Structure 1
Amino acid sequence: MTSHTPSLYSIATGSAEPIYRQLIEQTRRLVAARVLAPGDVLPSVREVALALAVNPMTVSKAYNMMETEGLLSRSRGIGMLVAERRAHAHSAHEREALLRPTLERAAVEARQLELDPDAVLALFKKILKEQA
């Protein structure tokens, strides 16, 4: 069981996406990427709220929603833990579903710029290789 600090999260204050949604999406990605493992302890609501300078109710809402969906579990005296997940929880399909919104936004921008789809795919492949 690993305890994590509030630096786990960052928010984009100018984003159209609500802060609680940003926290949920970041947690989902961290779990899918195995940065957060089952049984890991998340920072307290108060710690995250102070670190991000947001209302504690915002963090509490995100944690409660993730508990409802089964991503987190509450442990009396410990706090919020990453829930034990089924074996297929980190499947390629789940990780692709997390990436899809980002690619959809990139596709919209490519169309707005009137870029050739083959050129866009070539650029994406190049970027993937650069980061490896």
Structure 2
Amino acid sequence: MELNSAIPIWSQLRDEFSRHITNGSWPPGSKIPSVRDLAQMVGANPNTVQRALAELEREGLAFSERTSGRFVTDDEEKISLSRQGVFKSLTDQFTLAMKKAGATLPQTLELIKQQWNEGESHD
């Protein structure tokens, strides 16, 4: 994971961990790796990882069990809403960049179709 110095690390980690939940790599009800393990994986301070995970809990995407660790929520609706938020954020960023570059909507849609189809041929 590459970190952006302009955005707080805990926020970037929260977004990354949220992506694991919304894309299914951390399935509903699954155990989330420990703070120590995540800190080693991402090369961050454990306190920073702890803050990111606490935010996931606040958002309802994760919960703690006192002696067992943290788990992904079983609430599929919460996960779906989070997934839609991720999609919206990515779409907003992409749309703004394309508009700034001077692309029209038809050009943008055609490029998306091409990229989408190219991605399918590599799967």
What TM-score bracket applies, with the shorter chain setting the length? 0.7 to 0.9
Structure 1 regions of 5+ residues with no counterpart?
Answer: 1-9
1:41-95 Cα deviation digits (max 9, x unpaired): 111111211232211111000111111221111122321111221x43454x653
Q: Establish whether residue 119 from structure 1 lines up as the match of residue 98 from structure 2.
A: no
Partner of 1:88: 77
Inter-partner Cα distance in structure 1 for 2:89 and 2:30: 27
1:85-111 Cα deviation digits (max 9, x unpaired): 1x43454x6533211222212222212
SS at match of 2:21: helix
* TM-score, with structure 1 as normaliser: 0.77
Which protein is richer in helix relative to its size?
A: 2
Q: CA RMSD in A?
A: 2.0
Distance 1:94 1:58, change over 3 A: closer
Could you tell me the percent identity over the aligned residues?
Answer: 27
* TM-score, with structure 2 as normaliser: 0.82
The residue identity in structure 1 corresponding to 2:57 is E
Range with bigger deviation, 42-51 or 55-64: 42-51
Structure 2 regions of 5+ residues with no counterpart?
Answer: none
Aligned residue pairs: how many? 120
Distance 1:74 1:53, change over 3 A: same
